[in-house]
């Protein structure tokens, strides 16, 4: 289902194509109409685009490339296959993520898949990338913040200035340490679930428990409660030195502007976890790792990067998800 603003934008681009007697309604018509769409304009400005300049460039491209119907030809303008693919792709992505409405911002993301279109080219020429748009939609991160975060990472990686932080410190939280600091409340009424978790973690193989339940029932609290019991020593001997780290997938993805940045970060996290005896990785909303960090058309997302470590037993993992996503 399209939002009202997006329906107006689609209607606007079709009407403009008819008024100018254009034979086709193209992706460029759609992008030009999105320059009057509130959600799309908000994203473009956050990504550093000059909206007025982009509008002028799109108008020139449309005038130069779209055929005009001859006088007396009463045919209606026809949406191109690219135009239709963009809207279908945006609708599919929104539905697969569990949301109900497609906004102008979602259509912006879908336009980047039309790599041969003038629209995608002009967005990139104006300094807007697909990652910039996704970062703002998902995390509210503007382009300037994303780039400054990346520069900070690079300076840390080079070790030229300041104290270097480990990948675990940047992209995960040590739940054991939080428990020691008294920042985790006692877990009440979940003794059976904690015992079952301990049983699974103590196995030699297939030792990766998954919590499945509705939102808000306290799945994350189980991991925190287990960390508190480990700190208090109220666990079997095999888990007494275990350390639970909660992965922050948002921080892991944020600012990964170039191909390979995400893979590098996640591999650093896994490598550091392997160096810690009995480390356990907890991933809240674990279904989000499918597709996380993958470039368009690429298969290497977070789930595929974690598989080798899980398969050879080098890393134990806990996760939580809902029945719907499971």
Is residue 296 scored above 50 in pLDDT? no
- C-alpha 300/C-alpha 293 separation (Å) is 8
* Better-scored residue on pLDDT, 142 or 226: 226
Q: Per-residue pLDDT for 313 more than 90?
A: no
In the three-class reduction of DSSP (H, G, I as helix; E, B as strand; rest coil), residue 216 is classed as coil
- Helix 27-34 with 104-111: angle, nearest 10 deg: 140
Between 72 and 302, the more confident residue is 72
Q: Is 79 helix (H, G, I), strand (E, B) or coil?
A: strand
Question: Starting at the edge strand that comes first in sequence, how are the strands of the sheet with 172-174 ordered?
Answer: 172-174, 243-247, 279-283, 316-321, 210-212
Residue range 262-280: mean pLDDT, rounded: 85
Q: Which of 197, 221, 216, 226 is nearest to 322 (CA)?
A: 216
Pair of tokens at residue 308:
């080798």
Percent of the chain with pLDDT over 70: 85
In this structure, the strands spanning 243-247 and 172-174 are: antiparallel
Residue 265 has pLDDT above 90, yes or no: no
Global model pTM greater than 0.75: no
Tell the residue number behind the tokens 């080079």, with chain if given: 158
Q: In 3D, which of 24, 30, 26 has the Cα closest to residue 12?
A: 30
Where does residue 140 fall: left (phi above 0), alpha (psi -120 to 50 degrees), or beta otherwise?
left
E-only strand ranges, 34-171 = 78-79
Over residues 102-119, mean pLDDT: 92
Helix (H, G, I), strand (E, B) or coil at 316: strand
Q: What is the pLDDT of residue 258?
A: 59
């Amino acid at each position: 289902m399209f939002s009202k603003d997006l329906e107006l934008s689609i209607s606007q681009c079709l009407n403009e194509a008819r008024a100018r007697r254009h034979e086709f309604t193209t992706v460029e018509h759609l992008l030009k109409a999105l320059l009057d769409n509130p959600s799309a304009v908000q994203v473009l400005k956050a990504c550093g685009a000059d909206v007025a300049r982009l509008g002028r460039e799109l108008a020139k491209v449309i005038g130069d490339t779209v055929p005009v119907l001859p006088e007396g030809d009463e045919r209606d303008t026809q949406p191109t296959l690219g135009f239709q693919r963009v809207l279908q792709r945006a609708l599919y992505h929104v539905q697969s993520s569990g949301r109900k409405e497609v906004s102008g911002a979602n259509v912006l993301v879908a336009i980047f898949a039309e790599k041969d279109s003038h629209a995608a080219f002009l967005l990139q020429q104006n300094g807007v990338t697909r990652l910039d748009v996704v970062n703002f939609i998902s995390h509210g991160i503007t382009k300037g913040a994303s780039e400054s975060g990346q520069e900070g990472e690079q300076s840390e990686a080079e070790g030229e200035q300041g104290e270097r932080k480990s990948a675990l410190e940047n992209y995960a939280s040590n739940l054991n340490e939080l428990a020691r600091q008294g920042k985790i409340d006692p877990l009440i009424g979940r003794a059976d679930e904690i015992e079952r978790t301990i049983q699974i973690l103590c196995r030699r193989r297939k030792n990766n428990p998954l919590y499945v339940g509705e939102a808000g029932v306290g799945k994350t609290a189980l991991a925190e409660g287990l960390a508190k019991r480990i700190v208090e020593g109220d666990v079997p001997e095999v888990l007494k030195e275990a350390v639970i780290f909660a992965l922050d997938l948002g921080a892991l993805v944020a600012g990964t502007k170039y191909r390979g940045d995400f893979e590098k970060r996640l591999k650093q996290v896994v490598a550091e976890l392997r160096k810690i005896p009995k480390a356990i990785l907890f991933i809240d909303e674990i279904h989000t790792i499918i597709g996380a960090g993958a470039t368009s058309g690429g298969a290497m997302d977070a789930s595929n990067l974690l598989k080798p470590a899980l398969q050879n037993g080098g890393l134990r993992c806990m996760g939580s998800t809902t029945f719907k996503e499971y």
